[in-house]
Amino acid sequence: MIEVRTFISKNNIWFNEKLSKSEIERQFINFEDKDKESEIKLALRYLNDYIDFSPRGFIKIKLNQQELLGEEEFGYLNELWNKYISLITSYLLDGHAIEYLDYYHKKITLETYDDTSIQLQITMVPEEEAENLSINKYKGFILPKDAFILALLRSAYNYYKRLYSYADNEKLIIKMKELSKLYKDYTGKDL
């Protein structure tokens, strides 16, 4: 089972170092948690609707409780979601896709593995080793294709829909329409 959750920073601050699990729980809110409505509104108070209205945070993607992507991919959520949507869109058009995160220190590749599976590869080059591209870390996963694509599309749509409920921003409406179309093109059904 693919699980996708969006977490926002309570104070919209940037973290350069990896945080402990207790610190993550203290600093971030699950954006889908309806019981945290007042905390979410408080966290979003820092955003400027006229610029981009993008909170900082991370998107946690799990397969059967194994984390594939998470707090190590911290950034502006609209930018992160755009990267993941672009990855899916390129994959659906070409059968493979590459996106970069963290100012090119992390490469995410999506390719067909077989008729029902895709391979997600994450190659990381530690910042201190950016000059030497032969030193890198690698994670690879074989995922159920439909479940992965649909979970990402639904979660991205829900993220933008929820964000729109806090700010009437035309960019968010456009993004929801794009995601609805992509979902319908892939499944033949409405989102």
Mean pLDDT of the chain: 86
Q: Which sequence spans correspond to the domains of the chain?
A: 2-175
Residue 148 CA: distances (Å) to CA of 25, 142, 191: 25, 10, 15
Architecture of the structural domain at 2-175: 2-Layer Sandwich (3.30)
pLDDT band at 134 (very low <50, low <70, confident <90, very high): low
Per-residue confidence band for 16, with pLDDT thresholds at 50, 70 and 90: low
Q: What is the pLDDT of residues 144-156, one digit of tens each?
A: 999 999 999 999 9
Q: What is the pTM (predicted TM-score) of this model? A: 0.87
* Residue recorded with tokens 């490469």: 107
Q: Residue 9 is inside which H or E element, if any?
A: strand 2-9
Residue-wise pLDDT for 18-72, tens only, equals 677 777 788 899 999 989 999 998 888 766 655 566 788 999 999 999 999 988 8
What is the H or E stretch that residue 22 is in? helix 21-27
Helix axes 145-166 and 77-94, enclosed angle (nearest 10) = 150
What's the pLDDT band for 136 if we cut at 50, 70, 90? low
Q: What is the pLDDT of residue 104?
A: 56
Decide if 70 contacts 46 (C-beta within 8 A): no
